[in-house]
Amino acid sequence: MYGNLLVSHKVCLISIKPEFGEVKKTLIKETIEKKLTVQQLKERKKELVPKNIWTAGLLSIVEDPKQLIQEDNEKILSLPFLKNVPIGNLEKVKKKSANTSKKLKEAINQFTNDIKLYEQYIENYQKLIEDLETAIKENTSGDKVKKTKKGKK
Is residue 130's pLDDT more than 90? yes
Q: pLDDT tier at 145 (50, 70, 90 boundaries)?
A: low
Predicted local distance difference test score (pLDDT) of residue 4: 82
What pTM does this model have? 0.50
> Using one digit for the tens of pLDDT, what is the confidence trace for 73-96?
787 788 888 887 888 888 988 999
Q: Which residue, among 137, 118, 138, has the nearest Cα to 126 in the 3D structure?
A: 118
Contact 89, 53 (CB under 8 A): yes
Looking at 5-86, list the stretches that DSSP marks H as alpha helix, in order from N- to C-terminal side.
7-13, 21-34, 38-48, 58-63, 65-68, 79-82
d(Cα 35, Cα 88) in Å, to the nearest integer?
Answer: 37
Lowest model confidence (mean pLDDT) among 19-23, 47-51, 83-87, 146-150: 146-150
Beta-carbon count within 10 A of 118 CB: 10
Predicted local distance difference test score (pLDDT) of residue 82: 85
Q: pLDDT tier at 55 (50, 70, 90 boundaries)?
A: very low
Beta-carbon count within 10 A of 137 CB: 9
